[in-house]
Amino acid sequence: MTQDSSRDLVLTRLIDASPEALYRCWTEPALITQWFAPKPWSTPRASVDLRPGGRSEIVMADENGTEFPNPGQYLEVIPNKKLVFTDAYVGDWQPSSKPFFTCVLTFEEESGKTRYTATARHWTVEDKQAHEKMGFHEGWGLCATQMEALAKTL
């Protein structure tokens, strides 16, 4: 995938867990709820229809319990290797009201660990800048650390 620095935000980490464990963390609702939101936020619910065109919804909640649903749709599913999803659709190719980004996740074995790369490809330069200001690097970095801790237990 060719990177577009004007619209892409990228997080890459070498994680001490297998690609299979990280893939499970991203695709099993019971695991998603344990790591997805940067603490002190939480993830009260997650649902997954893991197939191209399938819906996903991950609900995050702030410290006061205010919920923020994140509906989306899977575009590509390659078990233990790659996931691509977007908020441009909300499942079965139904358009969302405001597309913001498409996420490409890759899980590559590297020396007994996993090279984890999350690319957030935004529809506009302004959306990328807004996501950066929301704390993309800090938030996604903290979540990657939380996911690694969970993946090590699997």
Per the CB < 8 A criterion, the answer to whether 67 and 61 are in contact is yes
Amino acid 2: pLDDT:
74
Q: Is the pLDDT of residue 4 over 90?
A: no
- Give, as one character, the DSSP assignment of residue 90: S
Which whole number is the average pLDDT over 11-25?
Answer: 98
CA dist 119 and 54 (Å) reads 20
Q: 1 pLDDT exceeds 80?
A: no
Q: What is the pLDDT of residues 57-108, one digit of tens each?
A: 999 999 999 999 999 999 999 999 999 999 999 999 999 999 999 999 999 9
pLDDT given at position 10: 97
Banded pLDDT at 34 (limits 50, 70, 90): very high
Domain segments of the chain: what residues? 8-151
**Cα–Cα dist 116/47, whole Å:** 22
Q: Quick one: 75 exposed, middle or buried, by C-beta within 10 A (0-12, 13-18, 19+)?
A: middle
Q: Topology of 8-151 in CATH? A: Alpha-D-Glucose-1,6-Bisphosphate; Chain A, domain 4 (3.30.530)
| Helix locations, the chain, DSSP H | 19-27, 29-35, 125-133, 136-151
Average pLDDT over the chain reads 96
**Of 84, 85, 82, nearest to 72 (Cα)?**
85
Backbone angles phi, psi at 58, to 5 degrees: -120, 125
Q: What is the mean pLDDT of residues 5-24?
A: 96
Cis peptide before 40 (omega within 30 of 0): yes
Report the pLDDT value the prediction gives residue 110, as an integer from 0 to 100: 97
pLDDT of 5 strictly over 90: no
Using alpha carbons, list the distances in angstroms from residue 32 to 25, 35, 53, 108, 126.
6, 6, 20, 20, 29
Whether pLDDT at 3 is above 90: no
Looking at residue 48, its pLDDT comes to 98
